[in-house]
Amino acid sequence: MTEHMPQEDAKTPNADMQHHIQSQLPAQELFSALGQSLQPDLLVHALTHRSFAHEHEGLPTNERLEFLGDAVLELVSTETLYKIHPDMNEGQLAKMRAKAVSEESLSAIARTKLHLGQYILLGHGEEESGGADKDSILCDTVEALIGAVFVEHGIDGARATVHQLIDDTLAEVATEGPALDWKTSVTVKAHQLGFGDPTYRMSVSGPEYAQVFTADLILTGTESVIGQGQASSKRKAQLVAAEAGWKALDDSETVKQLKREVSTI
């Protein structure tokens, strides 16, 4: 028998607010997509973005569940890749896992499998700015739901949910080539074309609780930005910029311009 974790020890939210939220959620559709049901209070907890919690005193955010779900997701995806790719080394497996559980992949799952944007509880400002379709919020909420499934159903239930959500993605990433490691791939391509290493010029904007990192990719010895990425973390922004830069180096005019810059610097 699976040993379940105890329920979260966060403050009990206002009963009227909790009941109202629960009554508005078409939970059965979401449970079907997850392959598991959740207690109403735990479901609300998993769907509560910090912007909503800040506007409704007593509601806990989903950040602790997100932290837990991230660990469960990494464990199950690692276990799966280890079993189905016995011929691959650690580095290859790590790249595949990183791609499969990336913000890009999880936000796509949130949109196509869970239709999650309609369920997420957002504050007015975040909702008005399109928060229900932001990759970062969708990704975090998927992880929070996985964490909630683990809390209620233990590792066996969480494993089943993770398989239902990401097995298709795990199969796809094995065929994606450079997409598994954009930063390495853009470096290799730049060297093949005779350029120096990529460098990432970073900037950050927005309030402390919702910072946006911007990465501008420039090849050493040149001046032009060949790729730009924006994301909720420095690493993710650099990955987006690396992908854009890798694709830019397929353009012959861009390469010619870069070579002119090298010759004049």
Q: Is 90 annotated as a binding residue?
A: no
Active site residue 143: yes
Active site residue 197: no
**SS3 annotation, the chain:** CCCCCCCCCCCCCCHHHHHHHHHHCCHHHHHHHHCCCCCHHHHHHHHECHHHHHHCCCCCCCHHHHHHHHHHHHHHHHHHHHHHCCCCCHHHHHHHHHHHCCHHHHHHHHHHHHCHHHCCECCHHHHHCCHHHCHHHHHHHHHHHHHHHHHHHHHHHHHHHHHHHHHHHHHHHCCCHHHHCHHHHHHHHHHHCCCCCEEEEEEEECCHHHCEEEEEEEECCCCCCCEEEEECCHHHHHHHHHHHHHHHCCCHHHHHHHHHHHHHC
Q: Is 143 annotated as a binding residue?
A: yes
Among the listed residues 103, 126, 135, 143, the single catalytic one is: 143
Q: Is 66 annotated as a binding residue?
A: yes
Among the listed residues 70, 126, 135, 181, the single catalytic one is: 70
Query: What are the catalytic residues?
Result: 70, 143
Q: Which residues are annotated as a binding site for Mg(2+)?
A: 66, 140, 143
What residue numbers does the annotated binding site cover? Answer: 66, 140, 143
